[in-house]
Structures are given as structure tokens and as C-alpha cells.
């Protein structure tokens, strides 16, 4: 469980994520302080952002499969390192594209 300190009342509490649908496929994930009801938006997504997040998850799963293949001796070290490097480059590129999109969406919704 994630315990945080409220910026408003300075009391500790455990984060309990909640979701709010804003229409047009926009979902806000947030949590509130149970002591003072201060609201904190964790992130905001739309269909495009969720699609890109799925793509990143699939790439991470691909990395795990290659790790397993290497550990089981199905691929050699050079191929393993080269493939993992390429996948990680794709992950980093997709994350770099996703970050400003999520920031912009959060700024639009969480006021």
C-alpha cells in the first residue's frame, strides 16, 4: 500500500485510487485525503493514450520473453543484447512521446 502525506493537512493516509469518467473516452484517476478531502489527480488518459500504454506494456512483455529465451539457451548473448537494446529504444521513444500527451491531458482535465 502507498502511504503519503497530504500537502494540505499534513496527515498520512493510504492512497485509494478512484476513477472519474469525463466523457469522450477520457478517464481521470485520482485519490483524496480522507482527513481533509484534498483531491490529487494521478493521471488522465484517453483512448489514444491507453493504446500507447498497451503498446509499451507489450514491449515490456517482449523483453521478458527474450530474457526467458536467453536464460533457456534459445538465443545467444549477442542476439539477446541486440534485441533487448532495440526493444528498450522503442520503449523509451514511446514513453517520450507519451509523457507530454499525458501532461497536456492532465492539465486540461484536472483543474
For 9-65, how does the pLDDT look when each residue is reduced to its tens digit (9 = 90+)?
999 999 999 999 999 999 999 999 999 999 999 999 999 999 999 999 999 999 999
- Give pLDDT, residue 90: 98
Dist. CA 55–CA 5, nearest whole Å: 33
Q: Which three cell numbers stand for residue 37?
A: 478531502
CA-nearest of 57, 41, 61 to 102 is 41
Neighbour tally for 106: CB within 10 Å: 17
Enter the pTM of the model: 0.82
Q: Which three cell numbers stand for residue 35?
A: 482527513
Amino acid at each position: 500500500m502507498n502511504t503519503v502525506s497530504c500537502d494540505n493537512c499534513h496527515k498520512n493516509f493510504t492512497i485509494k485510487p478512484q476513477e472519474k469518467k469525463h466523457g469522450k473516452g477520457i478517464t481521470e484517476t485520482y485519490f483524496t485525503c480522507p482527513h481533509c478531502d484534498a483531491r490529487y489527480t494521478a493521471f488522465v488518459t484517453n483512448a489514444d493514450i491507453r493504446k500507447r500504454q498497451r503498446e509499451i506494456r507489450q514491449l515490456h512483455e517482449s523483453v521478458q520473453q527474450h530474457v526467458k529465451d536467453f536464460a533457456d539457451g534459445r538465443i545467444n548473448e549477442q542476439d539477446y543484447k541486440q534485441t533487448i537494446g532495440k526493444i528498450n529504444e522503442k520503449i523509451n521513444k514511446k514513453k517520450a512521446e507519451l509523457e507530454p500527451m499525458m501532461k497536456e491531458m492532465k492539465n486540461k482535465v484536472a483543474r
